[in-house]
């Protein structure tokens, strides 16, 4: 079942354990991560990283991926995680890792990602704060 990130992090803090998060760049990776976590009856966090999303969107030179490339890739990752995670007996988080724009974060939320991270570290401090607030709102 897909769940938000917060409950997993709260449980990890409360019971003092580490919770791994795994970037997945292919359908087979998403399936493998979920199946392994099911074996151990452990929650799973699967991430689509910004550059990996461009790669999954078909961009070989993924460092130059466009917003559209990233959206296509994020959709592919979301579909894979949903396929194997929605019927799973363990909690599964679908997380956007280091999203670089408001538009990408919003698109991922609209696609069913249960968590997003905006990375405004490339911006001046005040702009970073404003962007983060915009995504949170």
Which residues are catalytic, by number? 97
Chain centre distance of CA 5: 10
Helix (H) or strand (E) holding 115: strand 115-118
CB 35 within 8 A of CB 9: no
Longest dimension (CA), the chain: 45
Nearest-5° Cα angle at 133, 128 to 135: 95
Tokens of 26: 């292919």
In sequence order, the 6+-apart residues with CB closer than 8 A to the CB of 102 are 118, 131, 134, 135
């Amino acid at each position: 079942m897909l769940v938000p990130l917060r409950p997993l992090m709260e449980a990890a803090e409360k019971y003092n354990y580490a919770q791994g998060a795994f970037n997945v760049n292919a359908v087979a990776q998403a399936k493998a991560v979920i199946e392994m976590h099911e074996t151990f009856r452990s929650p799973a966090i699967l991430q689509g990283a910004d550059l990996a999303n461009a790669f999954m969107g078909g961009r070989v030179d993924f460092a130059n991926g466009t917003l559209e490339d990233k959206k296509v890739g994020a959709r592919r990752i979301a579909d894979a995680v949903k396929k194997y995670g929605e019927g799973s007996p363990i909690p599964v988080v679908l997380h956007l890792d280091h999203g670089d724009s408001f538009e990408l974060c919003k698109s991922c939320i609209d696609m069913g990602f249960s968590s997003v991270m905006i990375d405004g570290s490339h911006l001046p401090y005040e702009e970073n704060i404003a962007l983060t607030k915009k995504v949170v709102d």
